[in-house]
């Protein structure tokens, strides 16, 4: 989150609050993808992620004064609103965790990488990634958000602490726990010696 970007966001927000649709569209396009990915990874549900992103920007349209520049960046504010919606969604439907579907409706299809290696290897790779995604989705929400922001979105600890509105130390400890849980869930620790020998 560069300072210039932050200033630009604030200008865009001010102008869109005054009724400038182009500025609002720019602001939307700058943040929607990250928010959508965050929501998708947190909920595992493309419909829910879509609703959450929509809600976040509706909030911005209806009451832009909710954003307080003294408390952080526009991006962090949007993440914060998204996070509240995600938590509400998870409270409502804690077991409604699905991986995104590859639908024909043009919906949140995760890009498939083109793999030139053998089909068996590709299948194994795909399966492994699905297992990792599923493991991330099964993490408790507070660890999941730290893992999603720091490991998948590659935000710095500082930015993640701003987004999650908690100290950097908390981010570190949540991330530590998240990683340990991920490793445990994937049973990599148990399988590891066998693989080590096989190699």
Partner 1 sequence: MTCEEFQLATLDADPQEQREALSESVREHLLHCPNCAAFERNWQELRDELQQIGIEERDVQAPARVEMRVRQEFRTKHKTMKARRSAVLTSWALAAAAILLLVIGWSNWSHEKKSPVANRVATVRQTVGPVSGKSSKISPAGPELGEVLVAANNSEDFTLLPGSMPGFLGDATVVHVQMQRGALGALGLTVNEEHADDWIDVDLVLGDDGQPQAVRLPQTTN
- Site residues (CB under 8 A) for partner 1? 16, 19, 21, 24-25, 28-29, 32-33, 35-37, 40-41, 49-50, 53-54, 57-58, 61-62, 106-108, 110-113, 128-129, 132-133, 136, 147, 150-154, 157, 172, 176, 179-180, 182-183, 186, 188-189, 191-193, 195-196
Closest distance to partner 1 from the beta carbon of 113 (Å): 6
**Residue closer to partner 1, measured from CB, 41 or 76:** 41
Give yes or no for a contact between 132 and 186, defined as CB atoms under 8 angstroms apart: yes
**Residue closer to partner 1, measured from CB, 70 or 113:** 113
155 phi, psi to nearest 5 deg? -80, 150
Residue 41: Cβ-neighbour burial (10 angstroms; 0-12, 13-18, 19+):
buried
CA atoms within 13 A of residue 27's CA, in its CB half-sphere? 29
Cα distance between residue 153 and residue 100, in whole Å = 17
Q: The tokens of 57 are what?
A: 């920007």
**Residue closer to partner 1, measured from CB, 110 or 166:** 110
Closest distance to partner 1 from the beta carbon of 50 (Å): 6
**Residue closer to partner 1, measured from CB, 5 or 189:** 189
Closest distance to partner 1 from the beta carbon of 70 (Å): 25
Closest distance to partner 1 from the beta carbon of 71 (Å): 23
Closest distance to partner 1 from the beta carbon of 39 (Å): 9
**Residue closer to partner 1, measured from CB, 120 or 198:** 198
3-state secondary structure of 101: coil
CA angle 127, 93, 39 (to 5 degrees): 60
Q: 110-114, long-range: CB within 8 Å, 24+ apart, which pairs?
A: none
């Amino acid at each position: 989150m560069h300072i210039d970007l932050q200033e630009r966001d604030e200008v865009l927000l001010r102008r869109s609050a005054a009724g400038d649709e182009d500025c609002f569209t720019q602001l939307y396009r700058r943040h929607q993808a990250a928010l959508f990915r965050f929501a998708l990874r947190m909920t595992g549900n493309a419909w829910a992620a879509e609703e959450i992103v929509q809600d976040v920007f509706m909030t911005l349209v209806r009451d832009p004064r909710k954003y307080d520049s003294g408390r952080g960046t526009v991006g962090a504010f949007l993440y914060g609103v998204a996070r509240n919606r995600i938590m509400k969604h998870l409270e409502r439907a804690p077991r409604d965790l699905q991986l995104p579907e590859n639908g024909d409706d043009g919906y949140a299809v995760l890009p498939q990488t083109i793999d030139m290696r053998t089909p068996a290897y590709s299948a194994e790779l795909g399966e492994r990634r699905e297992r990792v995604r599923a493991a991330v989705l099964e993490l408790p929400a507070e660890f999941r958000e730290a893992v999603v922001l720091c490991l998948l979105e590659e935000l710095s600890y500082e930015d993640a602490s701003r987004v999650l509105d908690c100290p950097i130390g908390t981010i570190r400890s949540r991330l530590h726990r998240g990683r340990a849980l991920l490793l445990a869930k994937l049973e990599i620790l148990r399988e590891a010696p066998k693989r080590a020998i096989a190699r």
